[in-house]
Chain A
Amino acid sequence: MSVLVLADHDLGVLSPATARIVSAASTLGPVDLLVVADDAAAIAQSAASLSGVDKVLTLKGYLVADSLATQLSTLAVRYHYVVASAGSVGKDVVPRLAATLDLMPVTDVVKILGPTSFERPIYAGNAVQTVTDTQDKHLLTLRASAFRPAAGGNAAPIEALDGSVQAVARLLSSDRTESDTADLATAQIVVGGGIALGSAENFQLVENLAKKLGAAVGATRAAVDAGYAPNDWQVGQTGKIIAPDLYIAIGISGALQHLAGIQGAKKIVAINTDPEAPLVKLADIALIGDLFEIIPQLTAELDRLGVKR
C-alpha cells in the first residue's frame, strides 16, 4: 500500500509536524514525501533524512489550494493513501482534493487502528468517532500532536517532478509572528495565557516563563481577540491542537473550545483566582491565586531550583 505524504514547511524549513506525520503514515505503507515549494532543495534534504521515507519528491509551486489540489490529484493516481498534517495547509487542500477525486476524506485523525480504520474527535473533542473507510483510495489529515516523530538518519533519494500549475488565487503577503519560542503544535512544554493577563505587555509574563522553560507560548481566543497575543498562538477548537508533556495554563477559565486543544497534554498545571474554573478542576496541579503575584514568584523559585532548558 503506497502512501504519499505532503510535507509542511515554512520559511524554507521543514516543519516539525512532518516527522510525526511520516512516522504515523509509515504504518500504512512505504512513504513518498512530497515537498511543494518554490525552492525545495534545503527542505528536501531534511525530508530525506526522516526514517520511513522511501523517496522525496519535489515539485515547484506554492501551497495555494487550487493549484496544489490539481497537482495532487494527478499524483494521487499512483498511491493508495494521500496524507497531510491537519494544519492550515492540509485543512485547506485535502477536502478540495477529495471532492476533485470524488472521495470522502477522513480528517483530524488521532489514531490509526488499521489500514481502513481511524479515530477522529468530534464536538470539540467531547466525543470520538471510529470510522471505517472502504473507498479504493484514502485521503487523510492527521493531527501531528497525536503521533511520535520519526527518527532521523535516513538518506532517501530525491526526485524532482515537473508539473507546475498556475494558481488562480494569488498570495499577496504573509504576516508572520516573529518569535524565537518553540513550535506550538509539537512542543514538549507549553505555557498558555488567557484574557486575565490584561494587556500585551503583561502577556510577556507568560512569554518570559515560557522562555525559561524552553516552552512554546499558547493563548486563548479571548486573549488573541483582545490583541494580547497573535492569532497563531491560539490553542483550541479553532486554533492549534497541542499535546505537550506539560501545559501551564495561566488565567485561563477552560472553556470547552479551549479544552478541545489540550486534551493530549500529559500534565496540566492551572493558575487561577477561581477554584471553580473548569481548568482548575481538570488540572493535575492547581494553584489558586493572583497570577500577577504568582508568576514572578514562580519564575524566581524555578531559578532558585536551577530549572533551565
Chain B
Amino acid sequence: MKILVAIKRVVDHNVRIRVRPDGTGVETAGVRMSMNPFCKHAVEAAVQLSEAGHGDEIVIVSIGPKVANDVILTALAMGAHRGILIETDAELETLAIAKLLAKVVEEEQPDIVLLGKQAVDDDSNHVGQMLAALADRPQATFASEIKVVGAGLEVSREVDSGRQTLSLPMPAIVTADLRLNTPRNAALPMVMKARSKPLAVRPVAEFGVDLAPRLTVEKISPPAERVAGKTVASVTELAAFIADDVAQMEAL
C-alpha cells in the first residue's frame, strides 16, 4: 500500500505575526518557519499506518520555494521514504495547489492521501476536499482516528455535534485534526538518514496546470484592537460586573 502525504511550510505556529503597515501582507522575512502542525499529524498518521503494516511506501509532497525542502526532510526523518518538492516562489491559491496535487496523485496512484485539515497561515481548510473532488475519491476530513478495515478505512471525524465515524473504500483522502496522534520528534540518526533519502525537485511548470489566481486580495489588515480592561480585587466586584452585564443583555 502506498500513502501520499501533502505538507506545507508555514510561519511557525508559535510566532506572533506582524501585519505589514502598507497592507500588502504579513511579515515573513526573518520569521521562523516550520511544518504546518496539522500536516505533522498527517505525516505521523502515515508513519503509524506503515508501522502497523499498512504502508510499504510513504511519499511526501510539498509545494513551495526551494527552502521548503526543510519540511520534507523533517517528514523523511519522521519515517517517510521519499519526497517531491514542486518548486515555485509564487503564492498559489488552494485550487491551484489541489490541481497540482491531483497530478501527483495521477502519477503516484496512492491508496491513501493524507493532508492536514488546514494550514495555520491562510486557515483555508480547502485542499483535501478539493483534491478529493478532482481525483474523484471519497473524503474524510478532520480525522481523529484512522483504522484500516479490509479494503477500506474507518475514520472518526471531529464535527460540530461531537464525533462521527465514516467508512470509505480506498483509494481515499483523509485530512488530519490535532487529536489524531502525537507527532514524533525524529532522533538524530533519523535526521542524518533523511538526507540520503530520495528527494525530487520539480519545477511547477512541468505540471502544465493553470495557476492564475481567481481571487484578488485587496489588502491584509490587522484585526481591531481590544481596549485594555482592568483587574478587580474581589469576587463581589466581579459578580456585580457580571450581574450588570447580564441585566443589560436582557434589556436588549
- How many residues of B are in contact with the other chain, CB < 8 A? 84
Pair A284/B229 contact, Cβ less than 8 Å: yes
Bound together, the chains give a CA A64 to CA B138 distance in angstroms of 10
For B124, what are the chain A residues with a Cβ–Cβ distance below 8 Å? 95, 107
Q: Is B132 an interface residue (CB 8 A)?
A: yes
For A105, what are the chain B residues with a Cβ–Cβ distance below 8 Å? 126
Pair B218/A130 contact, Cβ less than 8 Å: yes
Q: Residue on B with the closest CB to A263?
A: B223
Pair B129/A125 contact, Cβ less than 8 Å: no
Pair B129/A96 contact, Cβ less than 8 Å: yes
Closest 8 A/B residue pairs (Cβ): A301-B239, A99-B130, A104-B214, A284-B229, A95-B129, A99-B133, A95-B126, A88-B159
Pair A91/B125 contact, Cβ less than 8 Å: yes
Pair A123/B239 contact, Cβ less than 8 Å: no
Q: Which of B99-123 contact A (CB under 8 A)?
A: 117-118, 120-123
A129 to chain B, nearest CB (A): 6
For A205, what are the chain B residues with a Cβ–Cβ distance below 8 Å? none
Q: Is B94 an interface residue (CB 8 A)?
A: yes
Pair A131/B138 contact, Cβ less than 8 Å: no
A108 contact from B123, B158, B246, Cβ within 8 A? B123
Pair A66/B26 contact, Cβ less than 8 Å: no
Q: Is B11 an interface residue (CB 8 A)?
A: yes
Pair A65/B178 contact, Cβ less than 8 Å: no
Bound together, the chains give a CA A284 to CA B125 distance in angstroms of 32
Q: Is A28 an interface residue (CB 8 A)?
A: no
Contacts A123-B17, A169-B166: A87 and B222 contacting too (C-beta < 8 A)? no
For B32, what are the chain A residues with a Cβ–Cβ distance below 8 Å? none
B204 to chain A, nearest CB (A): 18
Q: Which of A105-137 contact B (CB under 8 A)?
A: 105-108, 117, 121-135
Pair A286/B126 contact, Cβ less than 8 Å: no
A98 contact from B16, B130, B166, Cβ within 8 A? B130
Pair B129/A121 contact, Cβ less than 8 Å: no
Contacts A127-B17, A176-B161: A169 and B138 contacting too (C-beta < 8 A)? yes
Pair B17/A99 contact, Cβ less than 8 Å: no
Q: Residue on A with the closest CB to B126?
A: A95
Pair A91/B141 contact, Cβ less than 8 Å: yes
B28 to chain A, nearest CB (A): 11
B163 contact from A99, A127, A231, Cβ within 8 A? A231
Q: Is B169 an interface residue (CB 8 A)?
A: yes
Q: Is A221 an interface residue (CB 8 A)?
A: yes
Pair B246/A238 contact, Cβ less than 8 Å: no
Q: Is A240 an interface residue (CB 8 A)?
A: yes
Q: Is B154 an interface residue (CB 8 A)?
A: yes
Contacts A95-B125, A104-B93, A267-B245: A131 and B168 contacting too (C-beta < 8 A)? no
Q: Is B87 an interface residue (CB 8 A)?
A: no
For B118, what are the chain A residues with a Cβ–Cβ distance below 8 Å? 238
Q: Residue on A with the closest CB to B154?
A: A172
Residue in B19, B159, B232 whose Cβ sees the most chain A Cβ within 10 Å: B159
Residue in B94, B172, B229, B232 whose Cβ sees the most chain A Cβ within 10 Å: B229
A174 contact from B163, B217, B232, B245, Cβ within 8 A? B163
A75 to chain B, nearest CB (A): 16
For B121, what are the chain A residues with a Cβ–Cβ distance below 8 Å? 122-123
A237 contact from B94, B123, B160, B238, Cβ within 8 A? B123
Residue in A88, A103, A263 whose Cβ sees the most chain B Cβ within 10 Å: A88
24 contacts between A and B (CB under 8 A): A65-B132, A66-B138, A92-B141, A100-B133, A108-B123, A122-B220, A123-B123, A129-B220, A130-B218, A130-B220, A130-B221, A133-B215, A172-B165, A172-B167, A175-B164, A185-B160, A213-B242, A225-B179, A231-B144, A238-B178, A263-B223, A267-B245, A268-B229, A307-B243
